Amino acid sequence: MTLTHHISDEILLSYAAGALPEAFGVVVASHISLCDDCRARMTGFDALGGAILERETGQPVTDTQLGEMLTLIAHLPQDSAAARPSTRSATPKKLSQGQLPAPLCDYVGERLDSLPWRAVGGGVRQYVLPTKGTARARMLYIPAGTKIPDHGHGGMELTLVLQGSYHDADDSFGPGDIDIAGADTQHTPVAAENMPCICLTATDAPLRFRGLLPRVVQSFLRI
């Protein structure tokens, strides 16, 4: 699989450190399971982190300090992302029709045709993954040639293309590619004409739609 859009070093470092919300972690893990380049870079970050820890000089921990640490751990919020989603498969692979990346299968099962999609309008369907925390991950099914309403972002959005492709005014994204959008991004993604586009996307803030109708239905659809 030839990929042209990859995960940034900053996001990979956060993932390697277990600092990403679960919703973003499953997108990153799914991409890594398909991408030799990002998988190699992440392995390097893991090795660097291990080397740094090995060079740290340990200090004795008193019983009081140990008790305080255990108390802090016990009261960590439920959306803490200390454990990152596993990449499971060690060998990146090309997705066959209907298949999903191994890390994503832990959340939605093995096949797309078994998902309980929910219509969101214009033929577009979504399925919200059961992740913890305020960030949300969702599967999107966008019919061929369909345009997503013009919108901006209140935070970060990571989108992984699973099948088909889409484009906006700036670029095109195909299977396995990652699209990173931030608060300065304003775009109108359009699915390619030849086949539906299926994506996995994660956001940590609501989208900012320009049109009235998308804004009206936004809160009902958890977008």
Domain topology for 1-77+101-223: Jelly Rolls (2.60.120)
Band (54; pLDDT cuts 50, 70, 90): low
Residue 63 is predicted with a pLDDT of 67
Which range has highest mean pLDDT (36-40, 112-116, 219-223)? Answer: 36-40
Structure tokens at 151: 């919108």
| pLDDT, tens only, 118-163 | 998 889 999 999 999 999 999 999 999 999 887 787 889 999 999 9
β-bridge partners, 136:
203
> What is d(CA 48, CA 214) in angstroms, rounded to the nearest whole number?
45
**Closest Cα partner for 218 from 159, 136, 146, 130?**
136
Contact residues for 115 (Cβ-Cβ < 8 A; gap 6+) = 108, 109, 127, 139
Under 8 Å between Cβ of 98 and 111: yes
Please state the length of the chain.
223
Angle at 193 between CA 189 and CA 195, to 5 degrees: 100
Label the pairing between strands 136-142 and 118-121: unpaired
Residue 201 is predicted with a pLDDT of 95
Q: Is the pLDDT assigned to residue 27 strictly greater than 90? A: yes
Label the pairing between strands 186-187 and 136-142: unpaired
> What is d(CA 186, CA 171) in angstroms, rounded to the nearest whole number?
13
| pLDDT, tens only, 166-222 | 998 889 999 999 999 987 888 889 999 999 999 999 998 887 665 544 544 445 445
Structure tokens at 176: 């396995």
Q: What is the pTM of this model?
A: 0.75
The DSSP output letter for 155 is: S
